[in-house]
Structure formats: structure tokens, C-alpha cells
Amino acid sequence: MIATAKFEDLSAISASTFELPASFSRRLRKLSDQLYDGVGFQLIHGIDPGRYSPRQKIIVYAGVSSHICPQRGFVDVIAKGVIGKPVMIFVIFGP
């Protein structure tokens, strides 16, 4: 199970705080080239949704995507309202 309990503040989620196995993190970083220079989206599947609450799923999405693109998009100029990543990443929960 992915550790999600330590993230009270969702803006604290980053590749350095959301630890993944090194081999998986490297694979996610390679997806960045496909996202920016290729088709522009990627599907990641195989995470069991029954193991996570709705909030934990948000944490998993943000954590996984932070390994692909460390920069987040923001709603406002003072960077308080996080809206997501500037690329499209779909994390499919389930088989």
C-alpha cells in the first residue's frame, strides 16, 4: 500500500516527498518525454481502488504525477490554489 497518511497539506506532495521504488520512478520520468513530445497523454493502470479513500486517491494521483512532471499548475498568481499538472496523466484505479 502506498503511504498517504503523511500528506495533510496536498501542496507538500512532490517526487521527493512521495517516495516510489527507484525503477518505477525512472519509468515515470521517461513518460515525460512521451507526454511533451509525443501524444500528450498516458494511461497508468493497476492500482487497486478498493484500498484507498477518495482523498488517498487524490494523493496517489498527485504523487505519481509528480514523478512525471514536478511543476504544478495554479489557479492564482501567488501559487496558492493548485489545479493540477500541465500535462494529462490518467491513473486508472483497478485491473
So what's the pLDDT on residue 92?
Answer: 55
Q: Contacts for 57-63 with beta carbons within 8 Å, 24 or more apart?
A: 57/93, 58/10, 59/2, 59/4, 59/7, 59/10, 59/13, 59/18, 60/2, 60/4, 60/91, 61/89, 61/91, 62/10, 62/13, 62/18, 63/2, 63/4, 63/7, 63/13, 63/18, 63/20
Residue 80 in this model has a pLDDT that exceeds 60: no
pTM: 0.68
Residue-level pLDDT at 95: 53
Please identify which residue in the block is written with the cell numbers 487497486: 48
Return the pLDDT at 85: 44
Mean confidence (pLDDT) of the chain: 74
- What pLDDT is stored for residue 87 in this prediction? 43
- C-alpha span between 69 and 55 (Å, rounded): 21
pLDDT in tens, 7-46: 888 888 888 899 989 998 888 888 887 777 877 777 777 7
